Structure formats: structure tokens, C-alpha cells
Amino acid sequence: MKLSIVAIAGLFLIVSTKDTLAFAPSKVPAVSRPTSSALFANADDERNTNNNKSMMTNLPKINSNSAASFLMASFLAVSTVAATTMVIPVFIEPAHAAVKAVETPKIVSGEEKDLKKAKLNLNVSKETLKAYQKLSSDAKSADKKALSALELATKNASTAKNAYVTVSDKLSAAKNQKMPQSAIKELSANAAILKGVSNEKDTIFNNASKTASKTAKEVKMAEKGIKESEKVIKKAEKSVKKAEKSFKGYSKAVKKQVKKQEQKVKALESQASKLKSMKEKETKELSSKQKAVESEVKNLKNLNLKKL
């Protein structure tokens, strides 16, 4: 739009000069009127001729040198506006670009995996130790009861056996002395009863002995498990310390690298800020030049050509 206005102004200056009236059109188009018949053709031709004469008469007489100066100024304004309009940069803020943030999955290093594994093994070893400790406690309690039962069964079995042996000896003596059959039968009956009791007590003793032996083995197994668990715990603790040391070194290296990258980011941000400032400054300067050219064009449009 601005270019067309300036171009029209230049052409108008060419047409308006006294020495260049030959370039003006022979006929100036009149204001169109709706005509529906050839009867008005002559009248229209006459009006067109009169309009041409009146327009040429009313055109201001401008010196050819002045017209050339205005024409050159117009062309310069056109070229300046065109050049200015073409090179004005458009700075787009990065924030204007809608970029959907994508969550980055956490990267687990080998050092961190080793540390987690070592800690897990240590925890499992400690839980195993607790289990063996509870097993040992239960085994010792059961073994204590079994030993008490065995002691009682041993005593009862011994008492029953002694009673049976005593009656059996009396029965043998009665038979050797040829005592009455009634006495022998009574001793025989007592001996049979006591033998049954002794056998029963022996069975109880054997069962108590087996139970005590079993609980004693369980106690030994639990104690052995405790010792082995303690060894495993010590080994696991060493592994944890080693993994912690390795992970600590890795973390230190990562922090150092992160710090280095952050410094690079800050440097890039600073550089971007400077570039942005330069672009904004350049944009303001070009905008100022554009406004100056627009003002010049406006002044050219508002020139009172009649006075010139």
C-alpha cells in the first residue's frame, strides 16, 4: 500500500510538469454514468473534452527541475521503504513454541544397582539371622522340656524296674523254698503287673529319649545357622561398604559433571540473552528507521504542490 502511494505520487509529478505534458493521457476518464442508449454519445464526448481541458488548465505549473527532484526523492523513498520492510527481523521467543514435555525415565547406574543389591543381601542375611535366633530359642525351650521329661521318665522307669526286679526275686525265692502255691500265685501276679508297668515306663523313657535327642539336634542346627548367618552378615556388610564407596565416587563424578554442564548451560543462556538483546536493539533501530521513512512519505503526500 505504501509503495503504491509513493509510485502514484511520482507519476503524478511527471504528468504535472510543464515539459512533460506530452506523457499525459489524451483523455482523462470521466466519471462513469449509466447510459442505456446511443442518443447520449455526443453529449458524453463533449463532456469528456471539456473535462480534459479543465483538468489540464487546472494542473499546477511546476518547473521541470523541481519535478525531477521530487521524483528522485520519491524513488529513494520507495527503495528505502522496500529495503527496510524486507530486512526487519522477527524474533520468536522460545517460550512461544509449544513443546510437550516428555518425562525422561530415571537411569540407574551399575554402582547404584550394586549398592541396592548389597543392601538387599545384608537385609536378607539379618532376617535369616533373626529366623535362626527364634528357631534356636524355640529349640532350646523344647529341649529343656524334653530333658525334664526324659529325667522324669528315667526316674519312673528305674523305679518300675526296681519294683519288678524285687517281686521277681521274691517269686524265685518262694519257688526255691517250695512255699505254698497261693503265695507263689500272688507273687507271680504282682510280678506280671509290675513287669507291665516297667515296660510301659521303658516305652515312655525311650520316647522321651528320642524327643530329647531331636530337640538337642535342633538346638545345634539353630546355633550353626546363627553362626553361618553372622558370617554372611559380616561378608554382606563388607560388600555394602565397598558398594557405598564405589557409589560415593560415582556420585561425586556425576555431581562434578552436572556442575560442568550447568556452567555450560549458564554460558549458553548468557549468550542467548546477549543475542536476544542485540536482536531487540536491531529491531528497535530498524523500526525507528521505518517510522522515519513512513514520516517522510507522509510529508511527501501532504506537500502543497500548488505553492511549489
CA–CA separation, 88 and 90 (whole Å): 7
Q: Where are the domains of the chain?
A: 2-95, 112-253
Share of the chain above pLDDT 70, in %: 64
CA–CA separation, 97 and 105 (whole Å): 24
The CATH number assigned to the domain with range 112-253 reads: 1.10.287
Q: Which positions ≥6 away from 28 have C-beta within 8 Å? A: 48, 51, 52, 55
Instruction: Write the burial class of residue 47 (CB in 10 Å: 0-12 exposed, 13-18 middle, 19+ buried).
Output: middle
Question: Do residues 121 and 243 make contact, with C-beta atoms less than 8 angstroms apart?
Answer: no
Here the contacts of 249-255 (C-beta below 8 Å, separation 24 or greater) are: 249/111, 250/109, 250/111, 250/112
pLDDT of residue 180: 86
Mean pLDDT of 158-181: 88
Amino acid at 36: S
Mean pLDDT of 63-77: 45
Other beta carbons within 10 Å of 59:
16
Amino acid at 62: I
Mean pLDDT of 41-53: 46
Where b means 16+ CB within 10 Å and e means fewer, 231-253 reads: ebbeebeebbeebeebbeebeee
C-alpha cell at 181: 502255691
Q: How confident is the model at residue 305 (pLDDT cuts 50, 70, 90)?
A: low
Helix (H, G, I), strand (E, B) or coil at 17: strand
- pTM of the predicted model, to two decimals? 0.49
The whole-chain average pLDDT of the chain stands at 75
Phi, psi of 90 (to 5 degrees): -115, 110
CA–CA separation, 293 and 84 (whole Å): 9
CA–CA separation, 32 and 40 (whole Å): 13
Question: Do residues 222 and 164 make contact, with C-beta atoms less than 8 angstroms apart?
Answer: no
Q: How confident is the model at residue 120 (pLDDT cuts 50, 70, 90)?
A: very high
CA–CA separation, 97 and 100 (whole Å): 10
Please determine, for residue 286, whether its predicted confidence score (pLDDT) is greater than 60. Answer: yes
Chain centre to alpha carbon of residue 30: 75
Express each pLDDT in 190-247 by its tens digit: 889 999 999 999 999 999 999 999 999 999 999 999 999 999 999 999 999 999 999 9
CA–CA separation, 222 and 215 (whole Å): 10
CA–CA separation, 215 and 203 (whole Å): 18
